[in-house]
Amino acid sequence: MSNRAKVQEIEDVVVKFVGDSGDGMQLTGTLFSDAAVKAGNDMATFPDFPAEIRAPLNTVAGVSGFQVHIGSSKIHTSGDYCDVLVAMNPASLKANLKWVKPGATIIVDIDTFEEKAFAKAGYDSNPLDNGSLDSYYILKAPVSSMTKAALTDLPVDTKMADKTRNMFALGLMLYIFNRQLEPTIKYINNKFGKNLPVLEANVAVLNAGYNYADTIEALPSIYNIAPAVIEKGKYRNITGNIAAAWGLLAASERSARPLFLGSYPITPATDIMIELARHKSLGAKVFQAEDEIAGICSSLGASFAGSLAVTTTSGPGLSLKSEAIGLAVITELPIVIIDVQRAGPSTGMPTKSEQADLYQALFGRNGECPTVVMAASSPADCFYAAFEAAKIAMEHMTPVLLLSDGYIANGSQLFKIPKVADLPEIHPPIAKPNDPNYKPFRRDPETFVRQWAFPGTEGLRHRVGGLEKENGIGTVSTDPNNHQLMVDMREAKVQKVSEYIADQKIIGENEGDLLIVSWGGTLGAMTSAVDTLQKEGKSVSLAHFKHIMPLPKNTANVLKGFKKILVCELNSGQFVNYLRMKHHEHSYFQYNKVQGLPFMVSDLIAKFNQMLNEK
């Protein structure tokens, strides 16, 4: 008999699923967020992977999590602290309790709370009995045992039963948040349609979790979040890495240049390569190289041959690619280098996010070696940032370094799928056959861009390479004055890009007490914090930078209208020092975090208020 609790309307909620790395928390969180999207909610997610490979079961080091923030209005971040924590074992509870709001709901698999698990997790006693959780509402659900009971009549072994526990937790949560099972069941059918025992097991356990929530009297209420008011269109839940791959495909179509990706797998950038490999039908060619150097060199060869050439990596791989980036600069060939930043230095924390590769992107090469540097600001923006990076690279015949980070690359949000035909056209400066005036380094007088001549084009035999070339004709030259000229030209060409990118926008008034400056994947947190203070009548504005090298041409005007400038970034102060180089007439304050974690909105609000109150 159903004991369905009363329905309570709420505006938003933050839910986090946590368990061992093999408990399927990433899939559970993804399916829960997909259900929210299908119900019309806006959302943002934050996968939290363990840095250790195959850490011992039931240990804090092996905990994997997935946080999702859903709401009836625009959602900018995955949330600071969670309203509901679903913990599949004691270790996951211990690792994540600090991220739970006081009074929040904690749902645990009571079957896993055993003495041996307490010791592995670092508990001296059962946390459910020692009073440490008295400020929370605790739901002790027999997830493991009821999962096995749901599979009694199916040909499923114990190992398979353990793997489906996450479906029980998902069914329970779908009930609590008043969601329908049908979309999730449809996904399970599509994913496991060819494996009937697995399909039936997952559906059975999902229903068991849903029915369990429907019958327990301990549930105080269920919650409903109304659909968000969003612009009409076709949407999907998309991660930053997949969005970047799609942006590159769109740029290939709009430029009529075949797409080539040469890369070596590295966390957290690999999914771009995986996604592009699925789209051979769209002309994408993907080469998984034996190392980072081979990856970028193969892409540079593809660029020479006339392809939209891309290579993807993270910080350690970008270090290895630096010499080949210099080759791309001196040959003036277009290539997009996507750096999905992670915590460093060296191997660092591969699954944790950071913004600490900016110095490397700006200066990490030998010689005078300028490249365009951009930064994506959200999972959905990765599409548009990758498209624009490709457009700039090809139209200006230059390498473009696009910075993403683990937070937005693995995180997801609602993405309105654009029509490719509505995107800007891309016009590479392709040399025409038998042009009597063609020279490899003859430049457009307005943009300083040389022409792109593909091998085999009739009448356009030429050579480019790593040795300095004579201006115009392209023969090898060691003439000092020519070298000065070529260095100046390559720099001027990159700086000219500022005339082809959008002016820097300010969120808020153009003048005031405090300007917040940020860049890259911190946009969501910054927007949320600034919006909160603006609604309180505080004189605070936000300038969030997407274009870094060169800076937008109106940057000086943006900075001059404020009494204080606070630069916030997930490193020790790289962008603020860059601004001190470029716009030294201003004084800058800085707020930095280097913990492998995103900014928390509550911390930002406290810092902004402190800055406003200090004389």
Tell me: do 295 and 416 sit in the same domain: yes
Interatomic CA distance for residues 417 and 236, integer angstroms: 7
Own/partner pairs, 443-448, CB within 8 angstroms, 24+ separation: 443/489, 443/493, 447/396, 447/493, 447/496, 448/489, 448/492, 448/493, 448/496
In-domain check, residue 60: yes
Q: How many residues does the chain have?
A: 615
Closest CA to 222 of 174, 183, 180: 174
Closest CA to 464 of 269, 597, 569, 333: 333
Interatomic CA distance for residues 537 and 511, integer angstroms: 14
Average pLDDT of the segment spanning 445-451: 97
Interatomic CA distance for residues 337 and 373, integer angstroms: 10
Tell me: do 322 and 389 sit in the same domain: yes
Interval 560-613: pLDDT, tens: 999 999 999 999 999 999 999 999 999 999 999 999 999 999 999 999 999 999
Residue range(s) defining the domain that contains residue 283: 231-499
In-domain check, residue 505: no
Residue 341 backbone class (left: φ over 0; alpha: ψ -120 to 50; beta: rest): beta
Q: What is the pLDDT of residue 159?
A: 85
Q: What is the DSSP string of 213-261?
A: HHH-TT---EEEEPPP---SS-EEEEEHHHHHHHHHHHHHHHHT--EEE
What is the domain-level CATH number for residue 124?
Answer: 3.40.920.10
Tell me: do 367 and 279 sit in the same domain: yes
pLDDT at 2 over 70: no
Tell me: do 154 and 38 sit in the same domain: yes
Q: What is the pLDDT of residue 51?
A: 76
Tell me: do 495 and 517 sit in the same domain: no
Is the separation of the CB atoms in 254 and 288 below 8 Å? no
Tell me: do 94 and 177 sit in the same domain: yes
The larger pLDDT score, comparing residue 450 to residue 51, is at: 450
Q: What average pLDDT does the chain have?
A: 95
In-domain check, residue 538: yes
Interatomic CA distance for residues 135 and 75, integer angstroms: 27
Tell me which DSSP letter residue 100 carries. E
* End position of a domain, from candidates 436, 468, 499: 499
Q: Which residues fall within 8 angstroms of residue 168, CB to CB, at 6 or more apart?
A: 141, 143, 146, 147, 150, 205, 206, 208, 209, 212
Q: How many CB atoms lie within 10 A of CB 406?
A: 29
Q: What is the DSSP string of 458-506?
A: TT------SS-B-TBT--B---HHHHHHHHHHHHHHHHHGGGSSPPPP-
Average pLDDT of the segment spanning 88-113: 95
Tell me: do 113 and 247 sit in the same domain: no
Q: Are strands 222-225 and 235-239 parallel, antiparallel or unpaired?
A: unpaired
- SS3 sequence of 64-93: EEEEEEEECCCCCCCCCCEEEEEECCHHHH
Interatomic CA distance for residues 321 and 167, integer angstroms: 43
Structure token pair of residue 556: 């000086």
Burial of 229 (0-12, 13-18, 19+ CB in 10 A): exposed
H/E stretch holding 387 reads: helix 381-396
Q: What is the pLDDT of residue 50?
A: 85
Q: Which band of pLDDT confidence, cut at 50, 70 and 90, is reported for residue 399?
A: very high
Tell me: do 189 and 238 sit in the same domain: no
Q: How many folded domains does the chain comprise? A: 3
Tell me: do 61 and 135 sit in the same domain: yes
Tell me: do 301 and 406 sit in the same domain: yes
* End position of a domain, from candidates 499, 520, 536: 499
Is the four-CA dihedral 432, 434, 436, 439 of positive or negative sign?
positive
What is the domain-level CATH number for residue 419?
Answer: 3.40.50.970
Interatomic CA distance for residues 601 and 286, integer angstroms: 39
Q: Which band of pLDDT confidence, cut at 50, 70 and 90, is reported for residue 421?
A: very high
In-domain check, residue 96: yes
Is the four-CA dihedral 323, 329, 331, 336 of positive or negative sign?
positive
Q: What is the pLDDT of residue 1?
A: 38
In-domain check, residue 414: yes
In-domain check, residue 507: no
Is the separation of the CB atoms in 435 and 429 below 8 Å? no
Structure token pair of residue 30: 């993804």
Average pLDDT of the segment spanning 170-189: 94
Is the separation of the CB atoms in 400 and 416 below 8 Å? no
What is the domain-level CATH number for residue 546?
Answer: 3.40.50.920
Interval 357-379: pLDDT, tens: 999 999 999 999 999 999 999 99
Tell me: do 202 and 261 sit in the same domain: no
Interval 83-98: pLDDT, tens: 999 999 999 999 999 9
Tell me which DSSP letter residue 452 carries. B
In-domain check, residue 534: yes
Tell me which DSSP letter residue 56 carries. P
Percent of the chain beyond pLDDT 90? 90
Tell me: do 393 and 527 sit in the same domain: no
H/E stretch holding 540 reads: strand 540-545
pLDDT at 3 over 60: no
Q: Are strands 63-71 and 512-519 parallel, antiparallel or unpaired?
A: unpaired
pLDDT at 14 over 90: yes
Q: What is the dihedral of CA 226, 228, 234, 236, to 10 degrees?
A: -80
In-domain check, residue 151: yes
Closest CA to 31 of 143, 149, 168, 140: 168
Interval 124-145: pLDDT, tens: 989 999 889 999 999 999 999 9
* End position of a domain, from candidates 441, 473, 499: 499
Closest CA to 409 of 219, 218, 268, 543: 268
